[in-house]
Structure 1
Amino acid sequence: MQSSLSIAVITVSDTRTEETDTSGKYLQEQVTLAGHKLVSRQIVKDDTYLLRAIVATLVADESVNAVLLTGGTGFTKRDNTVKAIQPLFDTPIEGFGELFRMLSHAEIGSSSMQSRAIAGLSNNTIIFCMPGSTGACRTAWEGLIAEQLNAAHKPCNFVEKLVS
């Protein structure tokens, strides 16, 4: 049984446009291929308060089940996703970052330690924050997110926590 979820995709970037946003496009395609409903796709500047406000608005909307963010998880001064989003978590999902880095290590080696990928639950909405490369989004989606947003995945998934 696959429960269709309502999912928002946000690309965090000061430079990407709709034409150059391959990561956001990839996630949008995967969301719809999995049978979910894309409720929003945005490109947001890497600004802590703007990003937090947009995600908080999505989380406050009871019809949104998940928010997928790509970008802003590195270590530069303009990588503000973690700082912006962590305060919104009611419950962090530590395993997401740990498993993402493990999967990523198999692909890119020690550079995977520079990823600050995070996830958490906020107001019955799951938020996944992943690096901005399309490859990293593919690793996260195929290795972790797709199964956890699939009600048929056993022994457990997040769908029952998101749909009431």
Structure 2
Amino acid sequence: MPRFDLSQFYPLTIAVLTVSDSRNADNDSSGDLLCQLLQSAGHQVAERTLLPNNKYQIRAVLSQWIASDMVQVVLLNGGTGFAAGNCSVEAITPLLDDTVPGFGELFRQLSFNELGSAALQSGALAGLANGTLLFAMPGSGGACTLAMQQLILPQLDGRTGPCNFVAHIKNSPSQRCGA
């Protein structure tokens, strides 16, 4: 029976959601950045959506992606800060089966090096829902770059040891290979 090969890269199918009351398809630079980084790493962008800070609209789109057999990972940027109107964290939290506390903790720690104590206002979080891995990060380009390069992309690569998230998501290579 074939095993999950830890020396192989397995491209994942990923959806990108930008949450913003001021951005649109023409100026969503952080969404553009996330898609570019994903594609450069070898992953496939399955869908991309931009929504306002409305927890019910956010939940509706996320619920569709979580229920889909196609979407393995969701990257959400924006609406995670401690500011009036931001609702990404409260939109996502009830949908999660399991949380990944280390993502938010490490993101804030890394952000502290650049922002100082303002980093504690970040609501960055991650978790699993129906085998779909979700990451929520601030919407600034710097925050997206930090999260992607230092935390997310390494964990979306089956070659990263001693562990990564590839084996934990739906339709993962480990499930396809019978490991």
TM-score (norm 1): 0.98
User: Residue by residue, what CA displacement relative to the aligned partner does 1:101-142 show, whole Å, maximum 9, x if unpaired?
Assistant: 011111111111110100000000100000010100001001
What is the distance in 2 between the residues matched to 1:20 and 1:27? 13
What is the distance in 2 between the residues matched to 1:77 and 1:40? 28
After TM superposition, give the deviation of residue 77 of structure 1 in Å. 2.4
Q: Which residue of 2 aligns with 1:159?
A: 166
The reply on whether 1:102 has 2:118 as its aligned counterpart is no
Which among 116, 119, 126 is matched to residue 119 of structure 1?
126
Alpha carbon RMSD of aligned pairs, Å?
A: 0.7
Q: Structure 1 vs Structure 2: percent identity of aligned residues?
A: 45
The higher radius of gyration belongs to 2
Q: Which residues in structure 2 correspond to 1:21-32 (within 5 Å)?
A: 21-32=28-39
What is the distance in 1 between the residues matched to 2:10 and 2:86? 33
What is the distance in 1 between the residues matched to 2:85 and 2:47? 23
Q: Which residue of 1 aligns with 2:5?
A: none
Q: Which residue of 1 aligns with 2:10?
A: 3
Q: Which residue of 2 aligns with 1:15?
A: 22
What is the distance in 1 between the residues matched to 2:85 and 2:65? 22
Q: Which residue of 1 aligns with 2:49?
A: 42
In structure 1, the gaps of 5 or more residues are: none
Question: Which runs of 4 or more aligned residues in structure 1 lie more than 4 Å from their structure 2 counterparts after TM superposition?
Answer: none
User: Residue by residue, what CA displacement relative to the aligned partner does 1:31-54 show, whole Å, maximum 9, x if unpaired?
Assistant: 111111100111111101110110
User: Residue by residue, what CA displacement relative to the aligned partner does 1:78-118 show, whole Å, maximum 9, x if unpaired?
Assistant: 10000000111100000000000011111111111110100
Report SS of the residue matched to 1:8: strand
AA aligned opposite 2:124: A
What is the distance in 1 between the residues matched to 2:106 and 2:82? 19
What is the distance in 1 between the residues matched to 2:127 and 2:26? 29
What is the distance in 2 between the residues matched to 1:15 and 1:40? 20
TM-score (norm 2): 0.90
